[in-house]
Chain A
């Protein structure tokens, strides 16, 4: 049993314990259950060999049905490790952040929330397709329950839509994965579900097969990301979900999609990726601007931030299809950064919602005067989200844009330093760059409405002390809330000012992912050069 098994089993055990223990203990058990994995996580972080971040470390295998090649293998490269770290970090924040929001039904809420942790770690840790897919699908159920039972008014519809939409997506992805397995069986004559082995044979598929697999996988993972135009479940799910659900959803669950693209699409079908990269990039850019503009006309703060995720994740996917080191590294960094800053924004919004029972910008206003501590945090996280240099969002956004900029055969033709080919280029970067402007527009629009302006007193009650006119100013953040937000704020600041160690950790994994692309891209650039010469 490896550290990773421990990281999966600990939350699972605690989830079972919550189910068995009396409801009054649920909260305490969940808190312990989310804090305990931090220990093994730190051990893993300190013992990981970052110079070989491309290798699967802490690997372990539990044979299941050896005849079928079925096993439950775990192991992490640097990218999986960092995403697991993000998951483990957000766990206690979600649990502790729900103390005041969740009044009853503790058992169900904390049980599923803790169980969800196990599933998410499982997705990132699995080195074998069956383990991956089981975990991947299992993440749906807890969130379905959380939204369905603990969400806002329209929660039933949101939960059903979330479940069915993403489930349909993952079934299609499964079709693609099954095809890869069958293909391997066809060539090698043996069953295996080991992801690295499958990757090496999948690359040998014909262009047509690769395109087929790419479409299936992309359809599945794009829904999860979500990429335009399969994004409409997200704003609904986010808006209706309880705060902890939104934090987990934005923080980790969306990253399952980008992680899937990184691991399976990029890892399995390079030829098809090169062919379809411009299409995926166009969808990403359309999503960045389209969703950004939609944010700008929202009245519900939470919906605004939800749509902003669609816009932001567009950068993330764009960086992936840039197919060069900077783009991919930036994209992986983006997954972490978005988890921190958007998770924090949802947390902030949840705190206001608890106090006012509204998220409407028409009813909120001037909170800088009434809740200065909350407002300071909110401005901070808004700026992290806007991509202010010095905070985390900038580094990854910049790298995604520069990666896109660099990803053009023209640079190879001109013999530019570090040019690796690719199918995007300056115009793609320029178009995506408008997303940076739009982000400022909608986030500052929200800040202007909610934080600045004349103080408004919505019908809510300031933590219960109502004087009959609803005029009691709400209390500002308490120590627990300040603590939670501070953890995330420190994360944003550290990753903004000193991202180099993380970048260097990601690089080996990215290099290995990109290795099969080098020759393909080079050959493609050569071909282009020939055409250019003839023309």
Chain B
């Protein structure tokens, strides 16, 4: 790695290649992870001091806001502030063979467009959702409150470490850290068995993916001799490994990306791994909004975007094709399940899986800008949707079934919730001029612009995504039409999610322990009054809804040069890539591409800079990036109309075609009945959980029991047998002195003798 330092061409803002931040970032960027870490420490202190007010919550919000201001300040510096800021040396171990060779991982931060973009929404949304949480978990004030905000803070610290890490090991620290916080927060209602099980499931399934990531880190280290991003990307940009050998056409560019993908799919709940995310909805809703919708689950997208040069170094694009296909299939698969779900929070959970599928498809289809922009917009509108669902849940005693709620928007105090929900739904459905519309369009268009020769089956993926986009509009408005508009009706849930010390909405299981709970339970069923959101929750929802509207405009910032603000950010990051049909600087002179390589350096063999791109594809003979606006708008409208026809109430809010009069009786029922058992199967999530249980968990459990028995009976049995043998021998030889210890001692000598004879025999044989 050292042999290339200094001789590398500066790749600053090369329009067609990855941007490697070579400068140094200011040390104060460390405040972004630092302030939440301080917050976590404060929460521990508050717990020790037995603080019973909302202080931990407000302190958290203040510190997180500080983090957001730091992010803004860093952002305003622009690309000048991009670079590395090293805080302290974390792990440093020599690897021996070469005197200088070492494995180094600092607490160092790598700031470029990608980390900046992520940090903006991570810190921003964390602040707003933190504010919402101060009210949401208010009835838990005391230890539970401290515990919640401790994990909340630690999560933001971990997420910041993940996103800002300047090496793969610190990224892994953040990666596991967010996993831990997710575990702690899903299991926040720890007395509820489902929550505990869901937390465990999330952590373990993530760990399976993490094994892939860990192996990728090992391979990266062996091949490149470093885990630090800057030297790593400098080598990849040159197409060489740590010894200067070309990496194109080797296992390196296929195996490492595939291993990284396993990690990414675990964290981001994609194919084969996704089953943990719907269960994670057991966590408090603000947690679902922040961790399981807006931020943590996008870490997989971040990882692939960050390591994109390695993916793109493969001419055959094997790993990217896998990513694209898996993403698209996940998007569609999750959408089919949503059709038959009735729990509004789970619907949003599956919707997140589906939307993440879009993002991965975008990455796989070489459209990094679209994918990253969709991460950004999705963070806003999905967080909005979750917070609104949370307000409903909070207000109706944990009620989440769309069969038992109707016309919520018209109830006292829920107007703001309804309006915000509406804005979120529009964006998720991809209604024109909303944020979701622009970002999703970029991915959809990319599918048709990317030629099939580059990513096998890109066109088919595009068609699948179009179908999924239509389905998305349908299932989104199915929730809105049923729950938020129509005749006012509600059946309260069995508990109040807020009133809780780890009890969750599972109050019935513990009534006998807590008489006051029982009284409350009676009150719920006799004279229940919906509990409208207060200023903090309303404020947070409004802020996010406004944010959802505003981020749409980012699509027009730097539209000409970079295809939107996200494009500008991506262009200044390692995720920069000349997407087919969207190549940055396609109208620009060649001077903006990579400078010629120094003499003697191996020529780049990969699909990066300098390589002529295959001709971009079209959609019905048109430029996909232009026509997709209309296509997706029409398809989205079809989805919404279908939702209105099947689920909407009579009147204007049913677009004039709805006919629902009761909360639980809709036109869809008759249609669903015609499909026989299929809707039931979909409602049961196609039995994937059961399948996993049958083919993985159960056999493993049986195996474990077998091992346990084997250990006790066979291995330990043999030991006891060997131990008993001499006693038996002793009895045989000298019956008069057959004391237990005597026997053992004889046995030991005899046994040792036998073993030494064996050793000698083995030695002679070898």
Chain A interface residues toward B at CB < 8 A? 160-161, 164-165, 167-168, 171-172, 175, 207-209, 211-212, 215-216, 219, 229, 232-233, 290, 293-294, 296-298, 324-326, 329-330, 366, 368-369, 372, 379, 383, 388-390, 394-395, 398-399, 401-402, 405-406, 411, 415-420, 426, 429-430, 433-434, 436-437, 440-441, 444-445, 447-448, 451-455, 497-500, 503-504, 507, 511, 514
Contacts of A164 in B (CB 8 A): 723, 744, 748
**CB <8 Å contact, A325 and B218:** no
Which B residues are within 8 Å of any A CB, using their own CB?
1, 47, 88-98, 101, 103, 143, 169, 172-173, 175-177, 180, 183-184, 187, 190-191, 193, 196-197, 199-200, 203-204, 207-208, 210-211, 214-215, 217-219, 221-225, 241-243, 245, 501-502, 509-510, 513, 700-701, 703-705, 707-708, 711, 715-716, 719, 723, 744, 748, 751-752, 755-756, 759-760, 762-764, 766
User: Is the pair A503, B243 in contact by a Cβ cutoff of 8 Å?
Assistant: no
A232 and B218 form a contact (CB under 8 A): no
Q: Report the bound CA distance from A500 to B509 in whole Å.
A: 49
Contacts of A290 in B (CB 8 A): 707, 711
Using known A-B contacts A167-B748, A436-B214, A503-B92, determine if residue A232 contacts B766 with beta carbons closer than 8 Å.
no
Query: Please, which residues of chain B bring their CB within 8 A of the CB of A394?
Result: 173, 176
Q: Decide if the interface of chain B is mainly helix, strand, loop or mixed.
A: helix
A293 touches B703 (CB 8 A): yes
**Contact at B90–A497, with CB atoms within 8 Å?**
yes
Set of chain A residues within 8 Å of B708, measured between Cβ atoms: 294, 297-298
CB distance from B151 to the nearest CB of A (A): 11
Interchain CB contact under 8 A, A401 and B96: no
B218 and A426: CB pair below 8 A? yes
A257 CA / B759 CA spacing, docked (Å):
20
Residues of A within 8 Å of B101, CB to CB, are: 417-418
Which residues of A lie under 8 Å from residue B719 when comparing CB positions?
Answer: 161, 165, 232-233
Q: Contacts of A293 on B, CB cut-off 8 Å?
A: 700, 703-704, 707
Q: Which one of A406, A411, A507 lies within 8 Å of B94 (CB-CB)?
A: A507
- In the complex, the answer to whether A171 meets B748 with C-beta atoms within 8 Å is yes
B87 to chain A, nearest CB (A): 11
A434 CA / B211 CA spacing, docked (Å) = 7
**In the complex, what distance in Å separates the CA atom of A155 from the CA atom of B723?**
17
Q: Is the CB of B93 within 8 A of A437?
A: no
Q: How far is the CA of A514 from the CA of B510 in the complex (A)?
A: 60
**Is the pair A514, B96 in contact by a Cβ cutoff of 8 Å?**
yes
Residues in chain A near residue B190, CB distance under 8 A: 366, 368-369, 451-453
- Report whether A219 and B755 are in contact in the complex, using a CB–CB cutoff of 8 Å: yes
A452 pairs with B196, CB closer than 8 A = yes
Q: Which residue of B is nearest A434, CB measured?
A: B211
Q: Are B173 and A389 in contact (CB under 8 A)?
A: yes
A514 — nearest CB in chain B belongs to which residue? B96
Bound-state Cα–Cα, A168 to B242, Å: 49
- Known interface pairs A293-B703, A448-B200; A369-B211 also in contact (CB < 8 Å): no
Give the docked Cα–Cα distance between A368 and B504 (Å).
14
> Provided the pairs A326-B95, A448-B197 are in contact, do residues A498 and B207 lie with their beta carbons within 8 angstroms?
no
Nearest CB in chain A to that of B763: its residue: A212
A-B contact pairs, 9 of them (CB 8 A): A172-B755, A389-B173, A390-B176, A405-B222, A420-B96, A429-B215, A451-B190, A498-B88, A500-B91
3 smallest CB-CB distances across A and B, nearest first, come from: A417-B225, A212-B763, A325-B96
Per the bound structure, the CA–CA distance linking A290 and B18 in Å amounts to 45
Q: Give bound CA distance, A455 to B501, whole Å.
A: 12
Bound Cα distance from A297 to B89, whole angstroms: 40
A208 touches B764 (CB 8 A): yes
Nearest CB of A to B158, in Å: 9
**In terms of DSSP, what is the predominant structure of the interface of chain A?**
helix
Q: How many Å lie between the Cα of A297 and that of B92 in the bound state?
A: 38
Chain B residue numbers with a CB within 8 Å of A451 are 190
A271 to chain B, nearest CB (A): 11
**Closest chain A CB from B249 CB (angstroms):** 14
Q: With A293-B703, A324-B95, A437-B208 given, is the CB distance from A448 to B196 under 8 Å? A: yes
Min CB gap B507→A, angstroms: 12
Q: How far is the CA of A171 from the CA of B716 in the complex (A)?
A: 20
Which A residue's beta carbon lies closest to that of B243? A415
Other-chain residue from B191, B225, B705 in contact with A455 (beta carbon distance below 8 A): B191
Inside 8 A of A401's CB, which chain B residues have their CB? 214, 218
Closest B residue, CB atoms, query A415: B243
Given known A324-B95, A440-B207, A454-B509, contact A405–B219 (CB-CB < 8 A): yes
B762 lies within 8 A of A211 (CB): yes
Whole-angstrom CA separation of A272 from B509 in the bound complex: 61
Complex contact A416–B502 (CB within 8 A):
no
CB–CB A402/B221 < 8 A: yes
Q: List chain B residues, Cβ under 8 A from A208.
A: 763-764, 766
**Chain A contacts for B707, CB-based, 8 A:** 290, 293-294
Docked-complex contact B703 and A172, CB < 8 angstroms: no
Tell whether, in the assembled complex, residue A369 and residue B200 are in contact, meaning their CB atoms are under 8 Å apart.
no
* Other 16 A-B pairs with CB < 8 A, given A368-B502, A398-B214, A503-B93: A161-B719, A171-B748, A219-B755, A232-B719, A293-B704, A297-B701, A297-B708, A372-B143, A389-B169, A401-B214, A402-B217, A430-B215, A436-B210, A440-B203, A448-B196, A452-B187
Q: Do B225 and A418 touch across chains, with their CB atoms under 8 A apart?
A: yes
| Chain A hits for B766, CB < 8 A | 207-208, 211
- Contact B759 A212, beta carbon cutoff 8 Å: yes
Q: Are A417 and B752 in contact (CB under 8 A)?
A: no
**Could you tell me if A500 and B89 are in contact, using CB atoms closer than 8 angstroms?**
yes
Q: Are A504 and B92 in contact (CB under 8 A)?
A: yes
A325 touches B211 (CB 8 A): no
Inter-chain contacts of A405 with B (CB < 8 A):
215, 218-219, 221-222
Closest residue to B215 on the A side, CB-wise?
Answer: A430
Measured between alpha carbons, how far is A13 from B25 in the docked complex, in Å?
A: 58
* Min C-beta distance of B764 to chain A, whole Å: 7
Q: How far is the CB of B146 from chain A (nearest CB, A)?
A: 10
Measured CA separation A366–B197 after assembly (Å): 14
User: How far in angstroms is the closest Cβ of chain B from A509?
Assistant: 13
Query: Smallest CB–CB gap between B421 and chain A, Å?
Result: 32
- Contact B711–A294 (Cβ < 8 Å): yes
CA distance A330 to B1 in the complex (A): 23
Chain B residues with Cβ below 8 Å from A418 are 95-98, 101, 222, 225
With a cutoff of 8 Å between Cβ atoms, the chain B residues found around residue A448 in the complex are 196-197, 199-200
Q: How far is the CA of A271 from the CA of B227 in the complex (A)?
A: 32
> Which residue of A168, A388, A511 is within 8 Å of B752 (Cβ)?
A168
- CB proximity of B22 to chain A, nearest CB, Å: 22
B228 to chain A, nearest CB (A): 14
How distant is the Cα of A379 from the Cα of B217 in the complex, in angstroms? Answer: 27
> Could you say which of A326, A420, A437 contacts B204, with CB atoms under 8 Å apart?
A437
What are the residues of chain A within 8 A of B173 when measuring CB–CB? 389-390, 394
Is A369 touching B191 in the complex (CB atoms < 8 A)? Answer: yes
Q: Are B752 and A212 in contact (CB under 8 A)?
A: no
A168 touching B243 in the complex, CB below 8 Å, given contacts A326-B93, A437-B204, A448-B196: no
CB of A444 within 8 A of CB of B1, answer no
Contacts of A383 in B (CB 8 A): 180
Verify A416–B223 contact, CB threshold 8 A: yes
Residues of B within 8 A of A440 (CB): 203-204, 207
- Quote the shortest CB–CB distance from A286 to chain B (angstroms): 10
> Are the C-beta atoms of A436 and B207 separated by less than 8 Å?
yes
Across the interface, name the chain B residue whose C-beta is closest to A375: B190
Whether B752 lies near A406 (C-beta < 8 A) is no
B89: nearest chain-A partner, CB-CB? A500
Check if A417 sits within 8 Å of B90, measured CB to CB.
no
State how many angstroms separate the Cβ of A476 from the closest Cβ of chain B: 11
The CA-CA distance from A196 to B744 in the complex, in Å, is: 35
Q: How far is the CA of A330 from the CA of B103 in the complex (A)?
A: 12
Q: Is the CB of B95 within 8 A of A325?
A: yes
- In the complex, what distance in Å separates the CA atom of A507 from the CA atom of B92? 11
Quick check: A215 and B759 within 8 Å, CB to CB? yes
Other-chain contact of B93, A215, A229, A507 (Cβ < 8 Å): A507
B439 to chain A, nearest CB (A): 32
Say whether B711 contacts A232, CB under 8 Å: yes
Cα-based distance from A380 to B226 in the complex (angstroms): 30
